[in-house]
Structure 1
């Protein structure tokens, strides 16, 4: 699999103020993928403009609620409180799961471990383990790098581990910031979308294989394990939209589920969910 990396800042593809522009906002995990989708879509459909921006799943959902986005990219399901907000405003919404993602736990390549079990992951990110001597021969304080609390990835990891993150955990703006921080901190650990872990981009870092109890340690880069659902930290990537806007956004949604869209998803380090 080949991975593609772009800096996750506000990105715009063929943007205009025309009301016909499809505005996509939200998940940092999905933003690079969405940009590539929008670029190829516009190449094949030059009459339809698509703008892309990140900021986190929470921001995308809030933008959809307030009418500032046509599509909200979200790496998590809607919260009950968000569902109630849409209902209270009489906004009927629908969703599409168009790709699947795996979460990678990464450390410096100097770290003297290659695998980690879920119990130790929980104890590290909750702050119970504060020094690497708890699981390695290193006597170094652990630095935790995670996402801000408006991130779908933050919510997903928190819920999957059934923890509250340690107070001292660093809250980074995106996957790229976590990767760059870990390149200069050999005592750190962080979590990122596997699609961001590049052969060139992640030089100096190590992707840990993960296991639970006595199960086999699995890498988030293992395509067969992801396809079979064996990896413990994999999730669908969602796009939410107002039902009333479906005719406007349908061409773009259809493209994402096409063979062309599947190729982009795979090249970006994710896994396509093909339209049935």
Structure 2
């Protein structure tokens, strides 16, 4: 019978999970590290997979896309979960070490912009959002009737979500932005701060975020004249109408492919796709 051990530290909000079976065969032992956006989903996929095939032992930890990719470079993982593609520098590093990778896009995510549930704001355009996150707009009274300095809750630079938002908005984040270690920490920060704004993976939000999590999901529009779309609107995501959509990657050491493939086949199969959708992520129809 499988045992599930979860490790959490308050300081870093680091989530690790080890799925252990009685089998000690290294050919059935998989190490997966990386994206905080993907970690909860990966844990649940691994739990269901090891129920079907208990010979496997899967160790999972978060810490950011960059950490996962570095773990592959240092031969400390078989799979790197990443919410961004490899950078040119990383591609060169793998080449220099003669490390071959396989890439799997197993799901899609939308990054949500959240504020406190009581803030009188429901949508925002890209130019305004960029000015908020880079510090040019410093008080909510420039956008609402509320006079409060804006507090920004973001991710660390090793985060794929950090890189994704920075690239999509073409901005540098304000130095005053708080660097949080994960999505859950950002949600809790904004929930407790009436002047807070942050960005998180939409899969971390409940359908009733305002009631259950104390945060409001802003609709986003490209310009002030355009229609605004929500990341929790399945129609908008299916039709590629939401601006902050992205694929979720798994980079896999080629030498580990044979032992990893049964798990990958489960992920992209019917049961895996069902779990992915249950968690608020998306899978494009073929």
Q: TM-score, normalised by structure 2?
A: 0.91
Please report how far the alpha carbon of residue 203 of structure 1 lies from its aligned counterpart in structure 2 after TM superposition: 2.7
C-alpha offsets along residues 210-259 of structure 1, whole Å, 9 cap, x if unaligned?
A: 11122211000011111111100000000001122211110011110000
Instruction: Show the counterpart of 1:3.
Output: none
Answering whether residue 26 of structure 2 is matched by residue 19 of structure 1, we say yes
Q: 1:12 to 1:273 in 2, by over 3 A?
A: farther
Separation (CA, whole Å) in 1 of partners of 2:33 and 2:74: 12
Aligned Cα RMSD in Å? 1.7
- The SS at the match of 2:81 is strand
Q: Which has the higher contact order (CA 8 A, sep 6+)?
A: 1
Separation (CA, whole Å) in 2 of partners of 1:260 and 1:239: 18
Instruction: Show the counterpart of 1:262.
Output: 273
- The SS at the match of 1:62 is helix
Q: 1:94 to 1:175 in 2, by over 3 A?
A: same
Equivalent of 2:215 in 191, 194, 205: 205
Tell me if structure 1 keeps the 8 A contact 2:100–2:254. Answer: yes
Q: 1:17 to 1:85 in 2, by over 3 A?
A: farther
Runs of 4+ in 1 over 6 A off after TM superposition: none
**Larger strand proportion of the pair:** 2
Instruction: Show the counterpart of 2:5.
Output: none
Pairwise mapping of residues 38-187 of structure 1 onto structure 2 (< 5 A)? 38-187=46-195
Tell me if structure 1 keeps the 8 A contact 2:238–2:284. Answer: no
Q: 1:238 to 1:224 in 2, by over 3 A?
A: same
Tell me if structure 1 keeps the 8 A contact 2:114–2:197. Answer: yes
Equivalent of 1:224 in 235, 239, 248: 235
Gaps of 5+ in 1: 1-5
Gaps of 5+ in 2: 1-7
- The SS at the match of 2:249 is strand
Please report how far the alpha carbon of residue 17 of structure 1 lies from its aligned counterpart in structure 2 after TM superposition: 6.3
Tell me the number of residue pairs that the alignment of Structure 1 and Structure 2 aligns.
270
C-alpha offsets along residues 40-88 of structure 1, whole Å, 9 cap, x if unaligned?
A: 0001111122111111000000001111100000000001111100000
